[in-house]
Every structure is written in C-alpha cells, then in structure tokens.
Amino acid sequence: MIPTASPHLPHPNSTDSGDTVSHPHPLPRWILAPAALAVSALALSGCTGGFEQTATAKDDSIVVALTGEPSSLDPLFDTNLNALNIFYDVFNQLTTIDDKGNVVPSLATEWSADEALTTWTFTLRDDATFQDGSPVTASDVVFTYETTMANPQANLAGYMTTIDSVEATSDTEVVFHLNTPYAPFDRQVTLVPILPKAVYEADPKGFASAPIGSGPYEVEKWQKGDSIVLTRNDDYFGEAGDYERIEFRFVLDETTRANSLQSGDLDIALLGASQVEAVRRADNVDIVDQQSNRVLYLGFNGSAGPLADQDVRKAADLAIDRTAISDDLMNGAVEPTGQLVAKVTFGYNDAIPATTYDPEAATELLEKSGYDGTPIVLSYPTTGLPQIDQLAQATAGYLEKVGFTVDLDGQEAGTYSSNWFAGQLPGAFIYAFAPSVMDADLPLGMLTRTGGQGYFSNSEIDDLLVKEIAEPDADTRAEMLGRISEIVAENTYYSPLFIDTYTYGSAAGLSWTPRPDGFFIFN
C-alpha cells in the first residue's frame, strides 16, 4: 500500500499561493480520485521541432487541448509547455531537429564553428518573412538574443549563458561569440524563437498577447480563459501547415479532457493515468502512448538544514517505492529511473539503475544522521505534472514512514516555476525536466553546475561540464555526461523518480504521431 502523509501546515518560509494541499484519505479513495493533470514541462524544456508528427482530420481544422493557459505569448517570459505549443507553430528558430535527432536548417541554411568551438557563424535564408510581410534579417536575430540576455526577468535567458556577444555581419549572416567552447550550440539555438525587431520594439506589451512570428501559423485571437486560435500562414517559406485553423483550448481538468474527447469536442488531448482505461473503451477515440524525454525528480535544497547531510538525502531516496507508485498510482505509465536524463536523450547512462526501495536502510541512515525531526518542506506545483497532488502525498507518506516530518507546500504552477528559477524552494521539491534538444548537457548543466538551479557545488561535475561541452567526439562526450549522472547518484544531489510517458486520446482514424517532447506542431 502507498502511504499517505499526515496533514501539516505549510512551512512559514514557503511561498503559499493558497493551494497548499493535504490529503488525509486512505489509499483506495485518493488513488482513484481524478487529479488535475496539466503537463508543462519546464521552463527549460525548449522545443526543437521536426519529429515526425502527422495528422489528418475530417475537415481543415483541429481542436487540441492544452493542459493550462500560457501566462504570456512573449517567448522571453513563458517557457512552459503550454506556451511553447503556441510558439513553435508561430515562430521559427535558427535550426531545428528532425525525426532522427539530427540538427537541420530552419531560418539558417548552414552554419559552422571555428576549431575552438567558441565562434559560430549562421547563414540565413533570404526568403523568410514575418507574418506582417517584413523580411527576417540578421538584425532580428541579434535583437532577439541581445534583448533576452539584457533582461534579468527573461526565462529564455537561461539558454544563453554561454553567449558573450552576437553580431550581424550582413543581412543574412550572424556570428555568435561564446565565452566557452560549446559543441552542441547548433542544438541550443533550436530553443530560441526569433522575434521581429521593429514590431517588438514598437509595442512589447502588446506583443505578449498578439505576437508576430515567421512560422507556419499566426495568432488569430487569444480568448483568455478559453482558447487560442491559430490560422495557417499561407506565405510561410517552409512546409505548409497541416490545417487551415487550429484551436488550442485550455482544459486543465483531466476528466473534462477525457469526456470532451469522447463527445467529439476535442480531437487530441493528453490523458491522465486515471482516465486512460475509460477512454480506451470509447469507439471514437484512439489511445496513443509515447515515452517522453521528461524525467520527474525529487530535488533537495542542501544549502543548509537537515538536507545538507548526504545521509538524510539518501534516506529520502531509499524511502520512496517507485515501483508501487508507478504501478498503483500511475497505472504503469511511468518508468522508475535513477538519473535526470531520459532514455531518448543523448548522454543517458544505461549503467545507472533506479533506486531500490529499502525503508529499513532509510531508517538506519536517518538515525545515523542525527536527524531531530525538523520539518522538511516538500514543495510542488499543484498542476503541471502527472497525478501531482497524489504523487506529492505519496512521497510525503513514504518519507514520514521512515521518520521524516514533512510539511506539504503546494504552489500555483507559475509561482512555483518562478520560485524554482530564483532558487527559493526551502526544502525538498518535486519537479521535472524535459530537454527537447535531446542532449543531457541542458538538464545536467542547469541542474548540477555550481551557480545553476541546484543547491550544491561539485568541482568534478563543473570540470566535466567544461570538458564535455568542448569535446567534438560524441562517444567521449557521452561518457563524460554519463559520469556526471554517476556523481549525482553517488552524492544523492537529486532523487530521480520516473521517466514519464505521454498518453493521448485522439479522434479515431486521425493519423497522428506524438513527439517525445510533448509538443503539438502541425506542419
């Protein structure tokens, strides 16, 4: 049986958005209850485009459920999945990634790096235009990067830490000067939508609700609280959009999404684990599974307090029964893992097993550490991750079973994301990382580098990150990335939990292949 946590008041230092959650119910009741499921892979999930995804509908429009509403349509500030599903139909990046994981042209037709991997030159195509008819030029690229890097509030800036400067050497050539060698920089630029300089400068606030990009679709309207409608850009320079019209509806509740699929009001929707079997029985809906690039993890603020002790962190890691949670809570839709990198991502280390549940060893370690019962705040976003309320409750229950005192701290997803970025989560925390560049440098660089999003410092990791990013040989680089995951496991800097699987319902007969990054891209 999966234990449930006893209710505690939120920690006084936590950010309380009014959504602190406790579930003092026995297992059968809370495991069967519908949970809000809104997949928004993190701020750092980025999109690369290009994985095979085809769709055919009975007419020239499609209705797709998003699991939440974007906070902004300005790519600088909202880097969560629901916003990215809009951005990567509306904007282009310099490069994109194809269905084999290879970097291929988008706005750039070719690119090269110097021997030191610190100077990268991109040549732009000369026929790309924004949706207002103006040409896409090198000055727009420079503007996008410089504006992002200069804004301390821009979440997108997290992808640009290696950039020292960027310059336009002609209308169709952009040169990036990096502060460090960076082998996968051509992948990194797939994360940055290019903005039209003139339009953005004229009205940055207006751009956040009515953006203009160069992509295959343009924003027709954003009815806040309800939907965003895109229409096909018939002047698009690349492959035409699959549909004349796409309506993205904000449907946060998984039961509503499931019911709307069965009634025909939705064509495609992400399903929660508790809804899959009911939807599978419907004649008019197909079930489609895709193991993702997303890893759910338990993080630790080890900068002070009990979690600064590795024995305490290891006790927490050993205390969680990943198999039981996967089987009983997630209906087998997640795979237990022992690292922050998913199988589909370059740099995955297949020699690292998932942690084996061992409550006796966890109790012994906790006693050895001298842990005195100081409450551990367990923070989590109340939407955005599968069965998140129940997952947080189960995690807290397992921790309490071996002797921890846990305060549950559920936060509104946007607030939580901001606190995560700012390093203001006070104890343990549940989150996820999904690097759509399919390269382990992104999650490991951001989560384990000194001064990054983690709460620890390890000189060997820092050294490996410097070396791998300058290593041109793929096998050697993969070994270095794998070693970083081993160090994380050896020190229990994180407690990786699961590789997620995205399960969708789609209208019967709709020819549609989901992507491992969870994005809806229709061209």
| 15 — pLDDT class (breaks 50, 70, 90) | very low
DSSP class of residue 325 equals I
Domain assignment present for residue 179? The answer is yes
Asked if residue 245 is part of any domain, the answer here is no
For the segment 118-135, the average pLDDT, to the nearest whole number, is 97
**One domain, residues 173 and 297:** no
Confidence of residue 57 (pLDDT cuts 50, 70, 90): very low
Please state, in angstroms and rounded to a whole number, the distance separating the CA atoms of residues 123 and 111.
6
Nearest to residue 219, comparing CAs of 79, 98, 72, 45?
72
Confidence of residue 447 (pLDDT cuts 50, 70, 90): very high
Strands 245-250, 285-300: pairing is unpaired
- Residues 6 or more apart from 181 whose CB is under 8 A from it? 116, 117, 118, 469, 470
Domain boundary (176, 198, 220) is at: 198
DSSP secondary structure of 245-305:
EEEEEE--BHHHHHHHHHHTS-SEEE--GGGHHHHHT-TTEEEEEEEEEEEEEEEE-TTSS
Q: What is the mean pLDDT of residues 330-350?
A: 93
| pLDDT for position 98 | 72
In a domain, 69, yes or no: no
In a domain, residue 55? The reply is no
Q: Could you identify the residue written with the tokens 């962190």?
A: 313
**Residues 320 and 442 grouped into a single domain:** yes
- Verdict on whether the full-model pTM lies above 0.85: no
CA distance 274 to 334: 13
N-term to C-term CA, the chain? 46
Provide the residue count of the chain: 523
Amino acid letter, 276: V
175 & 313 share domain: no
As a whole number, mean pLDDT of residues 105-113 equals: 97
Q: What is the pLDDT of residues 168-182, one digit of tens each?
A: 999 999 999 999 899
Q: Are residues 322 and 452 in the same domain?
A: yes
Query: Residue 20's pLDDT is what?
Result: 27
Q: Span 281-301, mean pLDDT?
A: 95
Instruction: Flag the least confident range among 198-202, 446-450, 462-466, 507-511.
Output: 507-511
Q: Give pLDDT, residue 369.
A: 97
Assign 3-class secondary structure to 446-514: HHHCCCCCCCCCCHHHHHHHHHHHCCCCHHHHHHHHHHHHHHHHHHCCEEEEEEEEEEEEEECCCCCCC
Q: Is 416 within the bounds of a domain? A: yes
- Which residues are 269's β-sheet partners? 505
User: Where a domain ends, among 151, 168, 198?
Assistant: 198
- 305-335 pLDDT, tens digit per residue, is 999 999 999 999 999 999 999 999 998 889 9
| Beta strand ranges found along 46-172 (DSSP E) | 61-66, 95-97, 103-105, 108-113, 119-124, 163-170
Is 401 in contact with 5 (CB distance < 8 Å)? no
Domain end residue (candidates: 198, 227, 247): 198
Q: Is residue 401 part of a domain?
A: yes
Helices (H), 332-411: 359-369, 388-401
Q: What percent of the chain has pLDDT over 70?
A: 89
Q: What is the pLDDT of residues 207-258, one digit of tens each?
A: 999 999 999 999 999 999 999 999 999 999 999 999 999 999 999 998 999 9
Residues 296 and 153 in one domain: no
pLDDT over threshold 70, residue 263: yes
Task: Kindly report which listed range (11-20, 73-82, 354-363, 385-394) carries the lowest average pLDDT score.
Answer: 11-20
Domain at 126, CATH number: 3.90.76.10
CB 219 within 8 A of CB 235: no
The verdict on 307 and 182 lying in the same domain is: no
CATH at 447: 3.10.105.10
Per-residue pLDDT band at 273 (split at 50, 70, 90): confident
Cβ count within 10 A of residue 364: 15
Confirm if 84 and 211 have CB atoms less than 8 A apart: no
**264 belongs to a structural domain:** no
Q: How many domains does the chain have?
A: 2
- Exposure string of 291-313, with b = 16+ CB inside 10 Å and e = fewer, is bbbbbbbbbbbbeebbbebbbbb
Q: Is the pLDDT of residue 87 over 90?
A: yes
Domain boundaries, position 392: 292-501
Pair 303, 166 in one domain: no
Q: Which two tokens stand for residue 211?
A: 């953006």
Please indicate, yes or no, if residue 155 is contained in any of the structural domains.
Answer: yes
- The mean of the pLDDT values for the chain is 88
The string of DSSP codes covering 191-212 is G-PPP-HHHHHH-HHHHTTS--
Asked whether 347 and 482 are in contact (CB, 8 A), the reply is yes
